[in-house]
Amino acid sequence: MAVIQRSRSKKSTNASAANPPPPLESTQILTDSVGTSLQSIAGLTVPWDQMSRIQQEYVDQATTLWNQALEQPGQLKPDDRRFAAPEWSSTPASAFMASMYLLNARTLQRLADSLSGDEKARDRVRFAVQQWVDAAAPSNFLALNPEAQKKAIESKGESITQGLQMLLSDIRQGHMSQTDESVFEVGRNVATSEGSVVFENEYLQLIEYKPLTDKVHALPLLIVPPCINKFYILDLQPDNSLVRFAVSQGHRVFVVSWVNADEDLAQSTWDDYIEKGTIEAINVVREITGAEKINTLGFCVGGTLLATALAVMDARGDKPAASMTLLTTFLDFINTGTLDLFVDEAMVQMRETSIGERSPQGGGLMRGGELAATFSFLRANDLVWNYVVGNYLKGEKPPAFDLLYWNGDSTNLPGPMYCWYLRNTYLENKLAQPNAVTVCGQPVDLRRLDMPTFVYGSREDHIVPWDSAYASTQLTQGPITFVLGASGHIAGVINPPQKNKRSYWTSGKPGTFPPTAKEWMATAQEHPGSWWTTWAEWLGKHAGKQIAAPKQLGSKKHRPIEPAPGRYVLRKA
């Protein structure tokens, strides 16, 4: 082990004599052993001058913390929300432990950031280090968490009993509770907009919603949500429902409710979801309303499915869309953010041979729980460890929150469909290349899409980085409107105007879309409030004249089957 000699001023030497420094062995073990380990990963190296500087600064800061803990323990205040409770600062040992943890975490992250070598390997190491750092926080352990210990003492052990009960309950239900799930019920207080299922097949139910206005636009609106989640993220409760908002604006609204795939669909493909899913829904809406053209909206993967379906139909000589709205959607997978860490040739081949068409059984299921866990660990402190501490260590039931209830209602995907998506988008980005893939027998060229298109991205989106959402402006050929909203993948989208929250950005030069998102942002204008009103104004221009609202839902050929939200959304993974 390398020995780091530190230069000291006379003042620091005297202080150290009065207050013995922490054993340098322990501090050097961290930086030496971790640094050596990092240098052996995938050919990555840490330049020696950076390694030496990081080690020196670590020892200096550790010594300062040790001296402060001995001389002024009351001044130790770990600056992190996980240690914000007064119990952490009022107990010198806990304050020192938390402060040392934060120093260790920063040092590990600096070492990971200093690696040179293959960029993807570096990103994977940084992600792994972040996961380890998040998991190792002293707040995550009852024996080290003074706040949880105090509650256990004050409740005479009741908090621990309640925590164990919640842990057992979560094990039984197969996922960690992020909200009080007993408060919500689909169809009772979420997904409550009035409507009927007017069509169904093995892949979807199509819901038509009851108009809220005497007149509606002649061109209906079809919404295609992501198939990796339940549709009711767009219809949570009346005051934050995008579905209800669109209906209130005088649109005749239809929504796809994807089935939660089971073994019967385990061999279904991407082509099936395009042909029997999205294209079928488009044609049924046209049949019910009598409209040759319809307005369309796709959210997340739903937008990818929608754009692909419209490109397939275009190749067949059919142009059904009067407009297309894409919400936090990938068309060009130029930057997939943290998710890119999980996708490489070996991983995709593994999936293809286990649940894809190349598997012995010709397909399997990508379990919803696995997808949900992956997305949660992208923000582990917020979506995992926060609930470990609150639910299990403190025995506190999480507050009721409709969005997090939806987040826990996961869905399965057919393996072949999922594997096609992984390979042709995340891995090879072929969907953005003209005629690079064939879907439903047609070469796909997104440049053929020439309808007016509204593209929305969320500035803090960790699933569809906003520069990738912006990249759609460089693909389609029709008139484009791009809007950037504040917040993340879901919260940025679900931002009703009456809440008067957040803000959004529009182009400072309408109709002008430079090659990069950074260039666009340089001239963008910020507006307070919700982007929904801007979208509603845009959509109204493409929705046709006002006609009398239908008195009944569906049509003679497609009669109502059951009330919204239908059976499919109730099926659990």
299: left (phi over 0), alpha (psi -120 to 50) or beta: beta
Among 461, 469, 466, residue whose Cα is nearest residue 494: 461
Answer whether 452's CB lies under 8 Å from 477's CB.
no
Catalytic residues: 300
Only one residue has tokens 């999480």, namely: 398
Other beta carbons within 10 angstroms of residue 500's beta carbon come to 10
Other beta carbons within 10 angstroms of residue 482's beta carbon come to 23
- The rounded distance, in Å, linking the Cα atoms of 394 and 83 is 14
- The rounded distance, in Å, linking the Cα atoms of 51 and 508 is 45
Please tell me whether residue 381 adopts helix, strand or coil conformation: helix
DSSP string for residues in 117-178: S-HHHHHHHHHHHHHHHHHT-GGG-GGG-HHHHHHHHHTTTHHHHHHHHHHHHHHHHTS--S
Among 552, 572, 567, residue whose Cα is nearest residue 208: 552
Bridge-partner residues for 299, per DSSP? 327
Please tell me whether residue 406 adopts helix, strand or coil conformation: helix
Distance separating the N- and C-terminal Cα atoms of the chain? 51
3-state helix, strand, coil in the chain (%, to 5): 50, 15, 40
Other beta carbons within 10 angstroms of residue 552's beta carbon come to 11
Q: Is 167 exposed, middle or buried, given 0-12, 13-18 or 19+ CB atoms closer than 10 A?
A: middle
Instruction: At 480, give phi and psi (nearest 5°).
Output: -120, 140
Residue 185 CB contacts under 8 Å (≥ 6 apart), including other chains: none
- The rounded distance, in Å, linking the Cα atoms of 411 and 571 is 9
Four-residue CA torsion sign, 522, 328, 191, 371: negative
**Which DSSP state fits 85?**
S
Answer whether 239's CB lies under 8 Å from 498's CB.
yes
Burial 46-57 (b: 16+ CB within 10 A, else e): beeebbeebbee
